[in-house]
Amino acid sequence: MNFAPLPSVDVAAVPSDGFVLDVREDNEWTAGHVEGALHIPMSDFVARFGELTEAADDGRRVHVMCRVGGRSAQVTQYLVQQGIDAVNIDGGMLAWDGAGRPMVTDNGSPAFVL
């Protein structure tokens, strides 16, 4: 079988106003996340797929994020198969943090990657 390479981008290439989908679990999200990101844990993804399609119905590119890029790669592959313009963020939150990109928490505590 011939699989097309998974579309992916470096953290530096994600626009500051880009649409980020975070597929990490709740405890990872709580520790720190990208401001304005949509949070749908991979474990809930199929059940909550409608939330993503609603949020992305303007045709914006979806930048998929997890901790290091494995879970987000699976979700990106699924989205591309559904005809959605999605890219995997190489290196995930660890790369995001390493590049000094901003992170937030919902409770105001210092953000970190769990």
Tell me the catalytic residues: 66
- From the list 98, 112, 89, the residue with the least C-alpha distance to 27 is 112
Which parts of the chain are beta strand (E)? 8-9, 19-22, 38-39, 62-65, 86-89
- From the list 113, 3, 109, 16, the residue with the least C-alpha distance to 69 is 113
CB-count exposure of residue 11 (10 Å: 0-12, 13-18, 19+): buried
Which helix (H) or strand (E) covers residue 54, if one does? helix 49-55
